[in-house]
């Protein structure tokens, strides 16, 4: 029997969007376990707190045994090792994403030889959603409910 395939889905998730949800729902079929890892970056002020975000994501995937949320500091590749993840799971929305992810994937493999990165392309009707745009819309008091899988 092959070793368990555990994927880390890392991000700042500020906030977690329906685009992210699409990747997790498809990833949980591909992997035995998906860990959503919220990276803490002390230099960036968050719009939605890590605590609130953790709650929202937990509720979103409450029905799924093999999805859970963690927070982490430091290098993604090191955190992956800590939790026994042998894969990083990433969504691609467009070519700008691709070039960034390409570079990061090689580096992560260098840091942790047993860590491969797997990509899913975000469903096209969700690919235009980005956390930064959702923050902008919410900040100005417009509804963001169609971009998020939970209520903010």
Q: Show which residues are catalytic.
A: 20, 44, 93, 131
Our finding on whether 84 is near a copy of itself (CB under 8 A) is no
Cis peptide before 15 (omega within 30 of 0): yes
Strand, coil or helix: what is 6?
Answer: strand
Among 17, 60, 117, 131, binds a copy of itself (CB under 8 A): 117
Our finding on whether 83 is near a copy of itself (CB under 8 A) is no
78: Cβ–Cβ under 8 A, 6 or more apart, which residues? 111, 112
Question: What count of other Cβ atoms lies within 10 Å of the Cβ of residue 76?
Answer: 22
Our finding on whether 137 is near a copy of itself (CB under 8 A) is yes
**Nearer residue to a copy of itself within complex by CB, 51 or 95:** 95
Burial 93-129 (b: 16+ CB within 10 A, else e): beeebeeebeebbeebeeebeebebebbebeeebbeb
Among 29, 45, 65, 113, binds a copy of itself (CB under 8 A): 29
**Nearer residue to a copy of itself within complex by CB, 55 or 116:** 116
Binding segment for a copy of itself among 9-17, 52-60, 130-138 (CB under 8 A)? 130-138
Our finding on whether 47 is near a copy of itself (CB under 8 A) is no
Which residues share a beta bridge with 74? none
User: Three-state SS across 47-93?
Assistant: CCCHHHHHHHHHHHCCCCCCEEEEEECCCHHHHHHHCCCCEEEEEEC
Q: How far is the CB of 109 from a copy of itself (least distance, A)?
A: 9
| Site residues for a copy of itself per CB under 8 A | 2, 5, 26, 29-30, 32, 74-75, 78, 87, 92-96, 98-107, 110-111, 116-121, 123-125, 127-130, 133, 136-137, 140, 142, 146
């Amino acid at each position: 029997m092959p070793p368990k395939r555990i994927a880390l889905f890392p991000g700042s998730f500020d906030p977690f969007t329906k685009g992210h949800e699409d990747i997790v729902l498809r990833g949980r079929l591909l992997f035995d376990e998906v860990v959503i890892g919220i990276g803490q970056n002390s230099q960036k002020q968050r719009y939605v707190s890590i605590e609130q975000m953790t709650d929202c994501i937990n509720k979103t995937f409450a029905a799924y045994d093999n999805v859970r949320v963690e927070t982490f500091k430091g290098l993604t590749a090191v955190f992956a090792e800590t939790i026994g993840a042998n894969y990083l799971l990433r969504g691609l929305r467009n070519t700008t994403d691709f070039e960034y992810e390409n570079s990061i994937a090689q580096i992560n493999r260098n840091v942790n030889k047993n860590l491969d990165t797997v990509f899913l392309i975000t469903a096209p009707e969700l690919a235009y959603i980005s956390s930064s745009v959702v923050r902008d819309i919410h900040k100005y008091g417009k509804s963001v409910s169609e971009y998020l899988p939970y209520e903010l």
